[in-house]
């Protein structure tokens, strides 16, 4: 590869003449598509979910915090969605934003990454850049993508380019958007990195290059393991504080007044979402290949994984104090998304709490206007719709479990008309006889 050829490829992005292909149109891929479309690039979205493709091509959104108006505007300015992977050949950049879940053994499942790479492999051509954004273990880009991309004779770093640039979306956070969140990027070669920077610097305010794809992969894991470990710490301290009759939320608020050396993290009913409960296990799994045990990380995982049981036990004890059995009790779970103000259900601890209570014989209902109907999920099954939050419905329940603290909830209404509240989010700081902290 000559410098002149590389410069030609880079110029295509600088002049916004490149066609951007986004593979996977979920919470990561869809905002990225909108950003590239907004600044004048032609964007093609590819997704295996035919229903998503149909909705997008009608100008409709399926993610609550992304308005349909934005999708319609993108459609009117050239965006198109398809399930046809053959059309990858039309794109200059192929950005993979596909899921990387864990299997039932808590081991990495990178089948979506591998299958997507296999699907685009026949359509690779000279000048293509492939960027993986899915969270994964260090080495995935070089061990899984690199050999597959080179099977047809194209050489990475010479004919085509390969980078890893982890997503950093925070759905529902109004303070940040795709453009303003700095973008870490690592390339397989120096040339890959240069082309990758030219791809992302058009759309993102700040691009942060690192020395390799592995370093970028590890960066993403460190970010989320940092959160998981600190949340595990504060969840453990919550249990200790509760035994001592201390409100951990009061302690956190007081500690947060220190202007240095302390960052507040808050306890809850467990970890949810597509990153924080999953990413630590990617590193612990890969570390075993090197004969290492990540005891600190695994301990935090154990603590966080125990929180739904902790909340359920609090419900059992609270009902018992009121001479009620869990079996047959009517329990209303408030908030079933994994965090406040979003409709994302992935790994939601609320659902685990619902299942555990149902298995103990409770009659379960939920209220969450972000999730009007309980969705089809691979591992969790409820035939339920959101219960309106009214005085009558609250009074009809034996216990209300505050699992996700959406801003839409009327907390005064809940406090006034519920006979028993188990609060796992620390919304009710003033002690009252019918409120139990969990």
CATH of the domain at 95: 3.40.50.720
Quick one: 72 and 196 in the same domain?
yes
8 Å CB contact between 334 and 402: yes
The 10 Å CB-count burial string (b at 16+, else e) for 270-302 is bbbbbbbbbbbbbbbbbbeeeeeebeebeebbe
Domain count, the chain: 3
8 Å CB contact between 303 and 266: no
For the record, the structure tokens of 18 come out as: 């490149």
Quick one: 353 and 219 in the same domain?
no
Quick one: 293 and 388 in the same domain?
no
Strand partners, 131: 95, 163
Q: Tokens 């919470």 — which residue?
A: 27
| pLDDT score for 175 | 83
Quick one: 384 and 322 in the same domain?
yes
| pLDDT score for 172 | 74
Q: List the catalytic residues.
A: 275
Q: Among residues 281, 305, 329, which one ends one of the domains?
A: 305
| pLDDT score for 378 | 73
| pLDDT score for 273 | 72
Quick one: 206 and 152 in the same domain?
yes
| pLDDT score for 1 | 58
**CATH code of the domain containing 239:** 1.10.1040.10
| pLDDT score for 324 | 96
Quote the domain boundaries for residue 84.
Answer: 3-211
Per-residue pLDDT tens digits of the chain, which is 438 residues long: 567 888 899 999 999 999 999 999 999 999 999 999 999 999 999 999 999 999 999 999 999 889 999 999 999 999 999 999 999 999 999 999 999 988 777 788 999 999 999 999 999 999 999 999 999 999 999 999 999 999 999 999 999 999 999 999 877 778 888 999 999 999 999 999 999 999 999 999 999 999 999 999 999 999 999 999 999 999 999 999 999 999 999 999 999 999 999 999 999 999 887 667 788 888 999 999 999 999 989 899 899 999 999 999 999 999 999 999 999 999 999 999 999 999 988 889 999 999 999 999 999 999 999 999 998 877 788 999 999 999 999 999 999 999 999 999 999 999 999 999 999 999 999 999 999 999
Quick one: 104 and 129 in the same domain?
yes
pTM of the prediction?
Answer: 0.91
Q: Among residues 265, 281, 305, which one ends one of the domains?
A: 305
Q: Among residues 268, 289, 305, which one ends one of the domains?
A: 305
CA atoms of 36 and 32, how far apart (whole Å) = 6
Q: Tokens 């590389």 — which residue?
A: 6
Quick one: 372 and 412 in the same domain?
yes
| pLDDT score for 279 | 80
Q: Which burial class, exposed, middle or buried, applies to 2 when counting CB atoms under 10 A from its CB (0-12, 13-18, 19+)?
A: exposed
| pLDDT score for 90 | 95
CA atoms of 309 and 311, how far apart (whole Å) = 5
Quick one: 138 and 270 in the same domain?
no
Quick one: 317 and 414 in the same domain?
yes
8 Å CB contact between 39 and 62: no
Quick one: 349 and 274 in the same domain?
no
Quick one: 139 and 269 in the same domain?
no
Quick one: 170 and 80 in the same domain?
yes
8 Å CB contact between 395 and 419: yes
| pLDDT score for 2 | 65
């Amino acid at each position: 590869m000559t410098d002149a050829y590389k410069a030609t490829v880079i110029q295509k992005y600088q002049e916004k003449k490149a066609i951007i292909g986004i593979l996977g149109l979920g919470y990561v891929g869809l905002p990225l598509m909108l950003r590239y479309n907004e600044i004048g690039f032609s964007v093609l979205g590819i997704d295996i979910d035919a229903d998503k493709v149909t909705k997008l091509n009608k100008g409709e959104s399926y993610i609550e915090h992304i308005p349909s108006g934005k999708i319609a505007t993108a459609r009117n300015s050239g965006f198109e969605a398809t399930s046809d992977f053959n059309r990858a050949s039309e794109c200059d950049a192929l950005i993979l934003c596909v899921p990387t879940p864990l299997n039932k053994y808590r081991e990495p499942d990178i089948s979506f990454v591998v299958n997507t790479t296999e699907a685009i492999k026949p359509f690779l051509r000279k000048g293509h850049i492939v960027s993986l954004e899915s969270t994964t273990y260090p080495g995935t880009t070089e061990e899984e993508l690199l050999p597959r991309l080179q099977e047809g004779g194209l050489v990475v770093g010479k004919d085509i380019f390969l980078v890893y640039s982890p997503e950093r979306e925070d759905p529902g956070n109004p303070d940040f958007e795709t453009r303003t969140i700095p973008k870490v990027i690592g390339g397989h070669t120096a040339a890959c990195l240069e082309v990758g920077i030219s791809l992302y610097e058009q759309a993102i305010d700040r691009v942060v290059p690192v020395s390799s794809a592995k370093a970028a992969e590890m960066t993403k894991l460190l970010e989320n393991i940092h959160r998981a470990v600190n949340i595990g710490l504060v969840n453990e301290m919550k249990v200790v504080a509760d035994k001592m009759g201390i409100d951990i939320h009061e302690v956190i608020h007081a500690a947060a007044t220190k202007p240095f050396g302390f960052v507040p993290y808050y306890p809850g009913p467990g970890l949810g979402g597509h990153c924080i409960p999953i990413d630590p296990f990617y590193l612990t799994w890969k570390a075993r290949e090197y004969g290492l045990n990540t005891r600190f990380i695994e301990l935090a995982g154990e603590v966080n994984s125990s929180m739904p049981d902790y909340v359920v036990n609090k419900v059992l004890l609270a009902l018992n104090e009121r001479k009620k059995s869990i079996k047959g009790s009517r329990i209303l779970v408030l908030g079933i998304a994994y965090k406040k103000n979003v409709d994302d259900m992935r790994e939601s601890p609320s659902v685990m709490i619902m299942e555990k209570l149902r298995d103990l014989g409770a009659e379960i209902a939920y209220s969450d206007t972000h999730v009007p109907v309980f969705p089809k999920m691979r591992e969790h099954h409820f035939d339920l719709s959101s219960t309106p939050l009214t005085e009558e419905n609250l009074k009809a329940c034996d216990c209300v479990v505050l699992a996700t603290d959406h801003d839409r909830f009327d907390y005064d209404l809940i406090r006034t008309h519920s006979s028993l509240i188990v609060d796992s989010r620390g919304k009710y700081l003033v002690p009252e006889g019918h409120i139990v902290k969990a």
